[in-house]
Structure 1
Amino acid sequence: MTEHQIVDSSFTAIINAPIEKIDIPEWCFGLSEQEYQSCSPAHIAAGFTTAPDGKRMSINVEVIGGSMIVEHYIETFGSKSHLILDSTSDVFTPTGRTTIHVTWELSVKDAGGGKCEFTNRVRTFATEDLLNFLARQGIPFDLFRAQRQPASIAHNQGETPLFAASIERAALGN
């Protein structure tokens, strides 16, 4: 799948709370829609449910690079300091609907002095659906990737410190 990777973007921010007060899965699966919206002007809606196999699931709606994306994140790994979510996400573009695969990874590590370093990593990959969608339009994958990366990277860079602030509020109970 790495040959069809679109983006691998990772940014960090400081959380002013001790690591023992952080619980990323609890934050993620309890995130109110208003709190999610406060973490980026591109965030439209959020909710949580369970997947058919009983795993926790976060549903996020956002607009990146002019395309609305509905993400169906299923928890694939979860500990208080590390969460990995995978989604085959619906992408609504001006030329139609397709899908991409997104892996969203959130983690914290102790930075000393009652602080943590938060990392927000997002990796996206082309699905067969996306490759066929691009081929029908005569768009080479490399061109699509080059055009998609700046918007995705900028989005991740902008939301990372706001996610960190939200996790900090949750950890400190305010």
Structure 2
Amino acid sequence: MTDYEIVDSSFTATINAPIEKIDLPEWCFTLSEKEYQECSPAHVAAGFTTTPDGRRMSINVEVIGGSLMVQHYVETLGHRDHLVLESVSDIFTPTARTTIHVLWEMSVKAIDSERCEFTNHVRSKATDEFKSFLNRQGIPFDVFRAQRQPMSIAHNRGETPLFAESIERAALKNEAVNRSPG
């Protein structure tokens, strides 16, 4: 773990759909707010837009450990089976607003011709702004990290199988659309 890494959490779940039917960027950048909310009780809102230079961005709002987070996930790698998103996320705490850096990586690999393994990997680290935020309050980084990790890990553990189910529904819907006549 690096000096200012907050969490490095990875979980897997099975998707009951062939890998060729899965398109992670398509799923991510068309995910409805309702579908996003169904993937975790901590999920508040979701939408998508583009950065000023035209890159796709997923906006996610969630509450983890009592802190409201607004994540501005910019696509840095977008393949059907591998999606990497990066965000300098706003965190609203009872004492102030600050930021953390989050790297969200999703991938799928075939288990067999009808199933895939989905991996949901989330890493976060302190920004300089966040380090100053903790210093102003006299909170040692290690203490913050020790308190934050269990909440972030539990959140990822809970949302991973629900994301997998959502991706599966999207893949099977795509399959049904592709099979329908006309």
Give TM-score, length-normalised by structure 1: 0.98
Q: How far did residue 107 of structure 1 move?
A: 0.3
Structure 1's consecutive aligned runs of 4 or more residues displaced over 6 angstroms after TM superposition are: none
Aligned equivalents of 2:3, 2:135: Cα separation in 1:
16
Q: How far did residue 52 of structure 1 move?
A: 1.0
Q: How far did residue 116 of structure 1 move?
A: 0.1
Q: How far did residue 89 of structure 1 move?
A: 0.2
Aligned equivalents of 1:72, 1:85: Cα separation in 2:
9
Q: Is the 8 A contact 2:19 2:113 kept in 1?
A: no
Amino acid corresponding to residue 39 of structure 2 in structure 1: C
Match of 1:135 in 2: 135
Q: Which moved more, 1:1-10 or 1:66-75?
A: 1-10
Q: Which runs of 5+ in 2 are unaligned?
A: 177-182
Match of 1:83 in 2: 83
Amino acid corresponding to residue 121 of structure 1 in structure 2: H
Where 1:3 maps in the other structure, the secondary structure is: coil
Amino acid corresponding to residue 35 of structure 1 in structure 2: E
Amino acid corresponding to residue 130 of structure 1 in structure 2: F
Q: How far did residue 49 of structure 1 move?
A: 0.3
Match of 2:13 in 1: 13
Asked if residue 154 in structure 1 is aligned to residue 158 in structure 2, the reply is: no
Match of 1:123 in 2: 123
Q: Is the 8 A contact 2:14 2:118 kept in 1?
A: yes
Q: Deviations over 1:135-173 (max 9, x none)?
A: 000000010000000000000000000000000000000
Q: Is the 8 A contact 2:40 2:162 kept in 1?
A: yes
Number of residues of Structure 1 aligned to a counterpart in Structure 2: 174
Where 1:88 maps in the other structure, the secondary structure is: strand
Give matches, 1:1-174, under 5 Å: 2-173=2-173
Q: How far did residue 94 of structure 1 move?
A: 1.2
Q: How far did residue 26 of structure 1 move?
A: 0.1
Give TM-score, length-normalised by structure 2: 0.94
Match of 2:179 in 1: none
Q: How far did residue 3 of structure 1 move?
A: 2.0
Q: Is the 8 A contact 2:25 2:80 kept in 1?
A: yes
Q: How far did residue 113 of structure 1 move?
A: 3.9
Aligned equivalents of 1:147, 1:3: Cα separation in 2:
16
Aligned equivalents of 1:153, 1:129: Cα separation in 2:
23
Where 1:54 maps in the other structure, the secondary structure is: coil
Aligned equivalents of 1:155, 1:53: Cα separation in 2:
32
Aligned equivalents of 2:10, 2:87: Cα separation in 1:
17
Tell me which protein shows more strand as a share of its residues. Answer: 1
Quick check: which has more Rg, 1 or 2?
A: 2
Percent identity over the alignment is 73
